[in-house]
Structure 1
Amino acid sequence: MKWNLRWVAAGRDIWRPSDLKTAFEAVGFTPSLSKVCALWSQAPVTVRLDDLDMICAGLECTVADLMEAESLATEESGRQDGQQAVGGSLRSGSGGRPVPKQSGGKGGLRRLPPN
């Protein structure tokens, strides 16, 4: 997700975190200045939904204005050192279903439990 708080704030003629805090306080949202600075300087890892609602009210915007989905290609190219999302690759022909492992002793396939 792309965090567009500064872009939305600039559209409302807000250029500093202290001005943003004032806009938030006008709608009853009273975060600390350090929290506002953290939201201002980088994309948050998590945001409470009620805080997100108050941020949108203070900036007179929507959630879609604040956050923009980035393509998966951008996320995949950002991965380094062979990191991969869990379940990121499926074996061909598996159709997304689990594939039995080869058993070491008998040479046959282990059976999957019943569905």
Structure 2
Amino acid sequence: MKWNLRWAAAKQNIWRPSELLPRFAEYGFTPSLSKVSALWSGIPVTVRLDDLDKMCAALNCTVGDLMEADPVERVAPGAEQGQSQERAVGDDGPGSAGPRPVPQRGTGRPRSLPPN
């Protein structure tokens, strides 16, 4: 994912993280300056959906403006350098419909309760 908070803020003529604080506060989002600086300078690992909604409202943008999908290239199995060609027992290779596990039937007894 590409994180475009700076771009969305620039469209609103906001050039510093400290300028975001009053705008966010208008919509009930009151993060610390250090959190806003972290959102400003890098890609966040997590963002709460309600916070994302408030950021979009404050910046008059959509989630698609803040986050942009960055296509990931598909890697064929075994194509990575140094990867071994190990397969699971019973795997006859790609496209094979080998043996599948058979689900176990219950014994008819109710399960015990988990420990407290």
TM-score scaled by structure 1?
Answer: 0.68
What are the within-5 Å matches in structure 2 for residues 89-100 of structure 1? Answer: 91-94=93-96
Closer/same/farther in 2, CA of residues 39 and 81 from structure 1, 3 Å limit: farther
Aligned residues: 90
Q: Flag the structure with larger Rg.
A: 2
In the alignment, structure 1 residue 71 sits paired with structure 2 residue 71: yes
Sequence identity percentage: 61
Deviations 1:22-52 (A, max 9, x none): 2101222111111100100001011000110
Please tell me the root mean square deviation across aligned C-alpha atoms, in Å.
Answer: 2.4
Alignment correspondent of 1:103: none
Specify the code of the residue in structure 2 equivalent to 1:62. Answer: T
Q: Could you tell me how far 1:112 is from its partner in structure 2?
A: 3.5
Closer/same/farther in 2, CA of residues 27 and 81 from structure 1, 3 Å limit: farther
Higher normalized helix content (fraction of residues): 1
Runs of 4+ in 1 over 3 A off after TM superposition: 80-83
